[in-house]
Structure 1
Amino acid sequence: MDFHTWLIYLVAALGLSLSPGPNGLLALTHGALHGQRLTRFTIAGGALGFVVLIALSMFGIGALLQASLGWLAVLKWVGGAYLVWLGIQVWRSPPLGDTLAASAGGPVRAGVLFRQGFLSAVTNPKGILFFAAFLPQFIDPARALWPQFVVMAGTFALVEVATECFIAGAAHRIRPWLQRVGKTFNRACGGVFMAIGLALPLRG
């Protein structure tokens, strides 16, 4: 992956991490209920779950590419259409602040939080569909898949961890902000997805 493509991927990964989703909500909730230190286990579990989804998506795509490079063009256009659809869903979704759990729970163990973060990522049916749509926009079929996987998975995991650590640490402060501007925030994130879905299939 060349540096210019990686920068576009980085911006797209940041947009995905900031958009409303199960793991962002979990980091926000656990940050408010259990504090930032314990919530790091939730975040680590979620990051591992995303790496698993990226691996399943990329190597499934790689198997298709071995059969025919024409599949990459098909995946890009189908994936672009899915990203536009997902952007519309995010645009129309309720503000994240409105869905934050209001009740506190009892003491929890780190392993429980890690498992919750991991399962939240890998059991989200939209997750693998998103990565199957998102990753073909950046895969170079002329290069080995493993190095691209390491770069893409590593970049996304680091961005996700940094974003969710910020969310968890600022949980009490950003909840009122999300309740005030949550709808505008959703529309901004949805607009990013729609722009990616429209623009990236036209590249190269």
Structure 2
Amino acid sequence: MSFESLVSLFTIAMVAGWTPGPNNTLVANSAARFGFAKTMPHIAGIGIGFPFMVFCIAFGLGALFQQSAVLREGLRAIGIIVLLWFAYKVATAGKPDPTKSADKPFTFFQSAAFQWINPKGWVMAISITSQFIAPQNSLISAFTIASVFVFVGFTSASGWTLFGTAMQRWLTNDTRVNIFNYTMAALLVFSVILIAKAKLGS
């Protein structure tokens, strides 16, 4: 991959990775509820899980996904349902309650697994890898693209987590907690609307 292509890939990946979406919204909400330290496994799941998915797509899985309308639309439907469920859970979460076993941040494996049902992730991965994969050297170019997303994933997730952590100082009463939760839920719903309009196979 040429230097110019690498700069272009990095720029596009940074813009795509830092814009509001399911991953960024969920880590911000997690940090606001549980703090930065307890959200670190969630960050790691994004920083490692998404690049692994990108590598798989760049190395061949994307071709199958693009050719199968059933797989494409099935993933979209599952992802939308999951995201709407997350939006509902975020909107109705209230303050964290340590006495509830379900009231916990994502684990590393939960976060990594979520990447495979995140339609925004599929849109990003397929649209970006299709522009930068080199068929004559697919292994190296797939590794290069995935490496860029390791940096993007960790930095964007950490940045949004810091935003959520900063919000803890403002979330001092139930009214503010509800406003924040409803706003995060609205961002998720907005992401769902964009995902529903996107062409996953393009």
Interval of TM-score (by shorter of Structure 1 and Structure 2): 0.5 to 0.7
Separation of aligned partners in 2, 1:73 and 1:8: 27
What is the SS of the residue equivalent to 1:173?
coil
TM-score (norm 1): 0.64
> Structure 1 runs of 4+ off > 6 angstroms?
none
Sequence identity percentage: 9
Q: CA 1:26 to 1:94, structure 2 compared with 1: closer, same or farther past 3 Å?
A: closer
Separation of aligned partners in 2, 1:185 and 1:161: 17
TM-score (norm 2): 0.64
Q: Compute the displacement of 1:162 (Å).
A: 0.9
Q: CA 1:150 to 1:127, structure 2 compared with 1: closer, same or farther past 3 Å?
A: same
CA-to-partner distance for each residue in 1:20-69, whole Å, 9 max, x for gaps? Answer: x4x545423443xxxxxxx4x4444432232231244234434543xx82
What is the SS of the residue equivalent to 1:187?
helix
Separation of aligned partners in 1, 2:113 and 2:22: 13
- The match for 1:6 is 13
Q: CA 1:76 to 1:127, structure 2 compared with 1: closer, same or farther past 3 Å?
A: same
What is the SS of the residue equivalent to 1:178?
helix
Q: Compute the displacement of 1:9 (Å).
A: 1.9
Q: Compute the displacement of 1:164 (Å).
A: 0.8
Q: CA 1:78 to 1:62, structure 2 compared with 1: closer, same or farther past 3 Å?
A: farther
In structure 1, which of residues 16, 37, 62 is the aligned counterpart of residue 22 of structure 2? 16
Separation of aligned partners in 2, 1:149 and 1:125: 14
Q: RMSD across aligned C-alpha pairs, in angstroms? A: 3.6
Separation of aligned partners in 1, 2:169 and 2:190: 27
Q: Compute the displacement of 1:160 (Å).
A: 0.8
Number of residue equivalences:
176
Q: Compute the displacement of 1:201 (Å).
A: 1.9
Unaligned runs of 5+ in 2: 1-7, 134-140
- The match for 1:192 is 191
What is the SS of the residue equivalent to 1:172?
coil
- The match for 1:36 is none
1:57 aligned partner, one-letter code? M
Q: Compute the displacement of 1:171 (Å).
A: 0.8
In structure 2, which of residues 144, 147, 161 is the aligned counterpart of residue 147 of structure 1? 144
